[in-house]
Amino acid sequence: MHRWRCKSAINFWLLSLPITSHAVWPFEPKRFSGNSLLNAGSMGLTDPGRVIAFGDFNGDQFLDILMLGSDQRTLSVHLWNHEEYTFQKSSSLKHFGDVYNVVPGDFTHSGKLDLLVMSGSWASGSLDLSVYPALTDGGFDVKSRFSIDSSSQSQPIPLDLNGDMKIDLLGMTPESQHSSTETFQTWKNVWNASQPQSPLFEVIDSPFHGSQCTISNPHSNAVVDLDGDCLADVFLVCDNGNGMKYFQIWINNKHNGFSLAHQGSLPSGVQSITFADIDRDGTIDMVFTTCNSVSSSSGVGTNCYINIAFNQQLPLCASAQPAFTKGVRICRPPDNLCVADPNFRFEFSGQPDVFISFPVSALFPDASMLVQDTTFSPSVPVSLRLGDANLDGFPDMLLVVSTSQGRTPKMVYSVPCERGKAGCDQDGNGKRGWQVATKGVDSLEAVKDARGISFVDMDEDGTLDLMVHRTGDSGKGNILFVQNNFYYDAFFLKAIVLNGACNNGWCNTEDGKRYHPFGVSYSGASYKYTVLDLSGRRSAAQVGQLPQTSYHALQSPYSFFGLGRTNNYIENLFVGSTIHSQNHYINMEGVIPNSKVVILPSANEGEAWKRELFLRPGDWIPWVTVTVVAGTALLAIIVLVLHLNEKREDELERRRASHHINFDAL
């Protein structure tokens, strides 16, 4: 009887063990399960409208969202709630006119993101510019709105023209666009916080020395380093008046303004242009689409091509290769990447290592490409979105294709070249090939009413997720987030250069509150890095910070780049700014992967830049902890057993010695 009771008690304990162990399980259950792209829903963005910009509005280092309502006038900020894992509406304002674009930026140099709103009547031929300054407690000061001199319909771009880390604007005024000499105009930031009545901008002639063009509308203007000196240059898309477009590249000469370095015709039917280091050689390349024609009602292009113009620059030096030959620089050493190459160039024809062009049908047979969002008035260009979705160090691609079943968002991976891959020649040669993602993409394939797609890192976990703009049944637009839940055996890095507000320290309010200016990045910062792969091969890559903001570019305020598989620290991370000092960049050695670097540049010559590194523990950290604890416990048990055995042997030996009789002493 007693034995039966003991057995029953043991069985009861065994049955209850899974429940008990689940209650004390130290790891939180995964929010998303499955090695695929998973439908995450609207993530709190249930209001009709569209996402018009990204930004860190409360400085908590989580990406927030700015939405434009279906009335095209209401702007609302949705802050990311890390604990609830969703976006929550924080503040809103209603603009007086139809909004065409919004650029978040710290225009008042207060350490908070203000809003530059471009609006007006499209029939007037100009854009009304307004800035809503940020309030320290959140929201925007509607009563103290700044009205700025209007621009032409070609949207101005933010950049730092004079090296003071304040955001200026470059564009055209309604009068200057018809000028034959000074087409470009600069909205110089002259804000003085000690004089509240002072203007925010002053319109002056721009510091551009050369033949100026008429900026196209729409355009793909960018502020990005193109000659390799880690100092942001200016890329402009121009209109010759006959329907053809050409480009101008203006090199930043610091104190001597900008000089025209290159000018050339763009291929016929060019659409939006984006920039990224496609082949991971440490230079920024040009990616764009061309179409024979575009439907004005649907925005779908016919006979579209994807084109990549590789930036021809000095390569990275091999480990034992000298940087100079007969006094001429032939390569960049790994510890000195920010060297300008005045002979850089882009070509739109030639070998696959210079320029490649392949039809969209090579990736998607019987499909066309969406190049304009006609649900917005006026239409907004739908550009290729570039980002490293699988963290291998090579940017991947997002686009929307149109078939008889509807408009579906697609993801295309950058892969090594081989025979049959798009972007490679018949023999399989080329810099990079392209392959459509087909595994685990059911959540994308289910969408048939897409009108745009972008990369966004939800919860800042180091993987690029997807955000899809949908038309919806109401025609007002819905937002769908897709969680990138693939497991990638690779590393990433995030970086952001701040604008020097509050002397890059704590900002103080009048009521004694303090906050960090963590959300105030600006266009023009540049990053170059070298890293070793698992076989010891060194490669370089370059990434720009917020190079484009016009026409709903939807680029994040920080820079994100995959590092691929590596068992080492980042050898050299060069961080460039727009400061007009002798050294406008720094070199950081031994940066830890899977982290976020915040760089606080100093405008004072000789003063060290501040750097802060934030590590985000991965999901594998608890398992490593358990493994270390278990291993330590096992080793402790082994040591204890050996110690007890040794102690027992010592005791036996002592006893044998005590019973030993020394006959010589008798």
Cβ within 8 Å of residue 347, ≥6 positions away = 309, 312, 354, 355
pLDDT at 30: 63
Cβ within 8 Å of residue 160, ≥6 positions away = 166, 167, 168, 232, 522, 523, 524, 578
Task: Give the model confidence (pLDDT) of 319-366 as tens digits.
Answer: 778 899 988 999 999 999 999 999 999 999 988 899 999 999 999 999
**What kind and span of H or E run contains 640?**
helix 621-658
pLDDT at 399: 98
pLDDT at 388: 97
Nearest to 154 by CA among 122, 124, 189, 127: 127
Mean pLDDT of 585-596: 93
DSSP letters, 506-555, are -EE-TTS-EE--TT-B-TT-EEEEEEE-TTS-EEEEEEESS---SSS---
Instruction: Return d(Cα 348, Cα 364) in angstroms, integer.
Output: 23
Low-confidence winner among 27-31, 191-195, 507-511, 658-662 (lowest mean pLDDT)? 27-31
pLDDT at 345: 96
CB atoms within 10 A of CB 663: 6
pLDDT at 617: 67
Percent of the chain with pLDDT over 70: 93
Q: Is 643 left (phi over 0), alpha (psi -120 to 50) or beta?
A: alpha
DSSP letters, 559-577, are EEEEEES-SS-EEEEEEE-
Percent of the chain with pLDDT over 90: 74
Q: Are 232 and 223 in contact (CB under 8 A)?
A: yes
Q: Is 551 left (phi over 0), alpha (psi -120 to 50) or beta?
A: left
Cβ within 8 Å of residue 454, ≥6 positions away = 51, 385, 398, 466, 467, 469, 554
pLDDT at 473: 60
Half-sphere exposure for 431 (CA within 13 Å, toward CB): 20
In the predicted structure, residue 483 carries a pLDDT above the cut 80: yes
Q: Are 440 and 385 in contact (CB under 8 A)?
A: no
User: Could you tell me how far CA 578 lies from the centroid of its own chain?
Assistant: 19
Torsional sign, CA 301, 305, 311, 315:
positive
Q: What integer best gives the mean pLDDT of the chain? A: 90
Mean pLDDT of 417-439: 94
In the numeric block, the tokens 């484009």 are attached to 548
Task: Give the model confidence (pLDDT) of 607-618 as tens digits.
Answer: 889 999 998 766
Instruction: Return d(Cα 125, Cα 120) in angstroms, integer.
Output: 9
Q: Are 482 and 518 in contact (CB under 8 A)?
A: no
Nearest to 486 by CA among 36, 31, 30: 36
Instruction: Return d(Cα 548, Cα 554) in angstroms, integer.
Output: 8
pLDDT at 534: 86
Q: Are 409 and 446 in contact (CB under 8 A)?
A: no
Q: How sure is the predictor about 380, in pLDDT bands with cuts at 50, 70 and 90? A: very high
Instruction: Return d(Cα 62, Cα 460) in angstroms, integer.
Output: 6
Q: Are 501 and 106 in contact (CB under 8 A)?
A: yes
Distances (CA, A) of 651 to 456, 644, 647, 661, 662: 68, 10, 6, 18, 20
Task: Give the model confidence (pLDDT) of 60-72 as tens digits.
Answer: 999 999 999 999 9
pLDDT at 567: 81
Q: How sure is the predictor about 568, in pLDDT bands with cuts at 50, 70 and 90? A: confident
Nearest to 108 by CA among 172, 50, 167, 178: 167
pLDDT at 533: 87
In the predicted structure, residue 7 carries a pLDDT above the cut 80: no
**What kind and span of H or E run contains 661?**
none
At 641, list the tokens.
């057993």
